[in-house]
Chain A
Amino acid sequence: MSTIALPGRRRTYLNTDYAIRSWFLTTDHKRIAVLYLVSITLMFLVGGAAATLMRLELLTPDGSLVDSETYNKLFTMHGVVMVWFFLIPSIPNVLGNFLVPLMIGARDLAFPRLNLMSWYIYVVGAAFTLWALVDGGVDTGWTFYTPFSTSASTTNVVTVVVGIFILGFSSILTGMNFIVTIHRLRAPGLTWFRLPLFLWSTYATSVILVLATPVLAVTLLLVAVERVARVGFFDPTLGGDPLLFQNLFWFYSHPAVYIMILPGMGVVSELIAAFARKPVFGYKTVALASVAIAVLGFLVWGHHMFVAGISAHAALMFSVLSYLVAIPSAIKVFNWTATLYRGAITLSTPLLYALGFIGLFTIGGLTGLFLASLGVDVQVHDTYFVVAHFHYIMVGGMVTAFMGGLHYWWPKMTGRMYSETWGRIAAIVIFFGFNLTFFPLYILGYLGMPRRYHIYPPDFQMLNVMSTAGASILAVGYFLPLVYLLASLRSGKRAGDNPWDVTGLEWQTSSPPPKLNFTETPVVSGPPYDFIGRAGRA
């Protein structure tokens, strides 16, 4: 298929070649980012469908919509799909893939073909998981605790576990690619402390991706082997220890939650700086805080096991360390606030999302500290309090940041502006719907409603109904961008190189960028977020 060069039409990464082959065999990081965007959106719909059914079921206390077995399968698939096939790849594989080479002034990532392979691995992993879903589902919870998952469950555990195992390699390759790229492909003059904070967060996330994911891989491998061979490390008849599984599982899964927040923090730093028109307060501190979160995040996994039977000594250690890991996160929140102070603020759609992030992440983070306290955790472990906590961080935090970043870089990725009116409406609807959905869950958990149950005492119904009502509003809120962002591709105003009038190498090239990103290698001579001397925006 020949490429059509219309007179006067600029060649970008989007119109260089329209052939299907050119998309599915691309090594262009920007096209791979788009492939990921489509894939994770589809998986988000799958995970969202499971959540919808769950919230509908929870409208009544007596379990009328689905039976217990089906409910178990719903919350399992919701967790598996949202964690591994939506959240973990979201910002890194969409925004990270698109922006990392642009932000460092490179033509592509260090290993473009591995990047494409990462996407195909993602697709294969998703296929296995969707197959398990269609073929009867899995009822173990996304945490696959043994010995239920290895000995007792009669569902498609092996299929799902294989799917996640495969997906893990997509994560590992992505992380490795980013680390090498940021180390080796920076433009001349781009020293570490001139990097945009999004890259610091991406780097920290990548370190977690490469060090934690292999442990998940081998642990799930052991689960699969034990189901097939009917013998293994977690076999209670042999003296197998359920806590061994939990230690191995959470050694990955706790750092995984930092994979699911650090990139969001990186995006928020960019958004705050752009729409307060100020450099981020305490740049170096925020950069190093990202690394601190990544490192400290590996030392706290036992806080998921406080009531599982670990020793008091271990519980104490993990509790103290969990308090410690909150510090760098809190530092970031303070620094963002200080950045906003006396800034020239524009309440654009991306900034609305960023502000939402700060508020919701703070609530989620503080409730994390409640959970890190041993006494409180004994009361609220395995209740809706925990569910509310992690949804405030993952949805109120990460998904919100993802939406903010998607809007902020939408003009760069597509060359089009979206409708600012609809953008703001959606952001506000999402914020309102989110809080109505998840705040009642804190109360429910504190009052004692356990998680993963579809039957509950009638006293809890009102709060559950509020939550489901909120969920329907939230669904509308997420649906809106799907519509107006797609519409902008056709009818949105064409964007210039730098529609927000900010600094950053990605804004020094056209929107959308050409295939090799820059016409000539940029040279960096100053700090990021250099707003001095730039004309203020109306």
Chain B
Amino acid sequence: MSNLLIYPIIIPLLMAMVLVFIRDRIKLQQWLTVLSLLATIGFSLFTVYFVSTEQILVLELGGWSAPFGIVLVGDMLAVVLVAVASFVTLMCLLYGFQSIDTGHKKHFVYPMILILLTGVNGSFLTGDIFNLFVFFEVMLISSYVLIALGGRKIQLRESMKYVIINIIASTLFVIATAYLYAATGTLNLAHLSERIALAGQDGLLTAISFLYLTVFGLKSGLLLFFWLPGSYSAPPPPIAALFAALLTKVGVYTIIRTFTLLFYHKPEITHTVMLWMAALTMILGALGAVSHWEIKKILSYNVIISVGFILFGVAVGTEQSLSGSFYYLIHDMLSKALIFITGGAIINIFGTDKLKEFSGLILFRPLLGWLFFIGMLALAGVPPLSGFIGKVMVLKGAIAADELAVSIIGLITSLMVLYSILKIFIHSFWGETLMSEGQEYSTGKHALLPGTILVVCIVAMGLGAEWVNTYVAQATEVMVNPNLYIEAVLKQ
């Protein structure tokens, strides 16, 4: 049964290799991509079911037992994120099939997206910190290609900065891992957790944890987000949607993993710093979102705000706020994909992303308008949509832990999220219709199917919160009690 864990990694990887050889047959590539993604989603959903009914799955690669070889660990946190990531990739591709141009399709965009998913799923599942670095690189290298593919001036310009900043962050990751290995003598996450707990988290380990916080902060956009708005607005909309939904979330996942499993002994130092980093991230992200007048920039700043909010819950670190963070993480992957897909359709229709040149889309694109509207409400956290429950759980946990100041910042920024996206909505859907049917650059129809499916998911996640919460609670149990993870991996 533990072999289940390898499928979400190996299926996209093998399919990507096959697709490279049939580069000119675009239709066939699309069918094979959808097929492999459906298989990945199927396997990962079955894994979620299995983990929820049986136990944490552990796969020892190559048959080497736990502290010596590399292991894949499927606890609830990892397998749920794998399922959601694969699903979101499928949705972005459903939008991309029509709206990505042929040049992209002939230059390996599908294999690259599949390899990106391989890296994302691998980062979620791995139980070894150096292997995490390798999967991070798999994910990042394909994202470098995806961001530069097409070679427009803005893409080249932004990809340079994106690549340089990420290479430096990755090198810092290796440095941090070298320190950690020198201090503890192991790389296996469960073994590390055990050793750190035994030896006590002294000053050296706390310093290493800050190095990790810097690295993952750079990757996830926690305070060190200055590269993010530029590079996320460079690639075409379907790829930007994929980036917004997946890339920063992997960074968030690694912060959750390392700071609940490894460095949880000195929360008064590490978690306090993280708390204020999260608060600053929310404030600065909100200011950016409010001040810009281009759709892509506004939405990219919204990615930053939500990263701040999720990590605010992690920094508070009580059971309730952690489960709220996890719930909000799932919600955010779905709703960011939705808002980027519908926003991308608006950009395609008008042929520009300047808000002030938009007007009156509601007359001939009513469904698109409603999808965007629901996505906006979900992001702002209006009941009964999924964002509301995540926010309530995080804020309840935070207020119970006496973090009033940051809670208020969180509430105010969610108002600013609403304002910034409402600005897009009002400018693009309300007002006088300037163009007639047929005059627009694109129909925007291909965003409707994935948009509708995502809206259904978001509403279902809000209404069926009780049901989702059984899984969230199971994931939180492992976060709060790292011994469950250690016992599953090391089998004592």
Q: Are A and B part of the same complex?
A: no
